[in-house]
Amino acid sequence: MAGVALRCSAPWRFVKLRRFSSIPSLTFHTSASPMMAATEEQFEQARSRMSSLKKDPGNDVKLQIYALFKQATQGPCNTPKPGMLDFVNKVKWEAWRSLGSVPQDEARQKYCDLIGSLVAAEGGSAAQEAADDITTIKLNRPMYNDIIEALNQAAKDDSVLTVFTGAGDFYCSGNDLSNFTNIPEGGVQEQARRGGGAAEYVKAYIDFPKPLVAVVNGPAVGISVTLLGLFDLVYATDRASFHTPFSQLGQSAEGCSSYTFPKIMGPAKASEMLLFNKKLSAVQACELGLVTEVFPDSSFQTEVWTRLKAYAKLPPNSLSLSKQLIRATEKARLHQVNDAEVERLMERWTSDECFNAVMSFFQAKARL
């Protein structure tokens, strides 16, 4: 949807388009959660990427980098505190000391996250790096048009697989509901008309020619969940959850889920999600067929990317042509469903029921 953002947990607004020959580092996030262990290869890549930074990140960030590097390579601070007049080393020592007993593998991952976020922040809305076998689109509060552009690029590049994942603790937290409070001059009718661009957004997934993989690194909400029925593989950490609270917000199904969900999990279970706002755990989503496989959070990144690297070595034309055979009979139907869903959503967005439901949501949130 032109002008409409998805809500994700990291602070920068962009979709990051990357292609890697090795496991990619993750964008830095500050909220506390279990961390995935970075490999030594990732850590060395992060060290080398430091030299590509064009801007000085500032002393506070440089202290974070120093402390995480020391913790990752030497463990908790075990050196004597510098003298009172040794100001520089004293500040560095205190930054390292503040990490306490954080394990070395966790510090290594946080170091990779931080360097990755700094590099990404200089890359704009769509940054592309060294070409190889996997294109990664990392959700980080993007606009719909950014993702469409990223998918169009990925469809034409030389990569074998295209992978979606989240930049922070969340995979994606859905459409930003604050869009409903920013009414344009044309009123809600104009707002709904702009929202009709969501049809093009979903169409980009329906028509995507290569294997499409979701690496769900945390909770997923709204359209990021409904689109999973259009992916070829969905891997999830065991701390992920899947929520489509449409009726709670006075809205209706999207992302072709009114067709794909009943087909995947059966009408009754699909209705629990799409009509009655049932949130699924990763294990439940896997049992119902929405998720391909669930991994322990502690080993999620390593296991998934090791597997994807192996898949990316398969003959690309064979994969693409085989996907077309699997999806060909469904494509026309999916386009019809997408058009019908967006038409219904445009009606919902202009209704008093939807407006009142969204306002109730904000009021309830304000009371927390």
Per-residue pLDDT, 306: 92
Is there a contact between 105 and 38 (Cβ–Cβ < 8 Å)? Answer: yes
pTM above 0.95, yes or no: no
Amino acid 355: pLDDT? 82
Please give the structure tokens belonging to residue 121.
């922040």
What pLDDT is attached to residue 17?
42
φ, ψ at 335 (rounded to 5°): -65, -40
* DSSP collapsed to 3 states, 80-122: CCCCCCCHHHHHHHHHHHCCCCCCHHHHHHHHHHHHHHHHHHC
Buried b (16+ CB within 10 A) or exposed e, 14-44: bbbbbbbeebbbbbbbeeeeebbbbbeebbe
Residue whose C-alpha is closest to residue 304's, from 315, 292, 316, 313: 292
Of 204, 202, 203, 184, the C-alpha closest to 194 is 184
pLDDT of residue 183: 54
- Contact in structure between 125 and 146 (CB atoms under 8 Å): yes
C-alpha distance from residue 286 to each of 157, 222, 290, 292 (Å)? 31, 18, 6, 6
Contact (CB, 8 A) for 72 and 104: yes
pLDDT of residue 136: 92
Record the tokens describing residue 59, joined without a space. 């002393």
pLDDT at 119: 73
DSSP 163-184: EEEESSS-SB--B-GGGGG---
> Which of the four CATH numbers 3.90.226.10, 3.40.50.620, 3.40.640.10, 3.30.420.40 does domain 1-21+130-368 have?
3.90.226.10
pLDDT score, position 13: 31
Amino acid identity for residue 331 in this structure: K
- All residue ranges of the chain with pLDDT < 70 are 1-41, 51-52, 120-132, 141-142, 175-197, 365-368
Q: Residue 126 has what pLDDT?
A: 34
Domain boundaries, the chain: 1-21+130-368
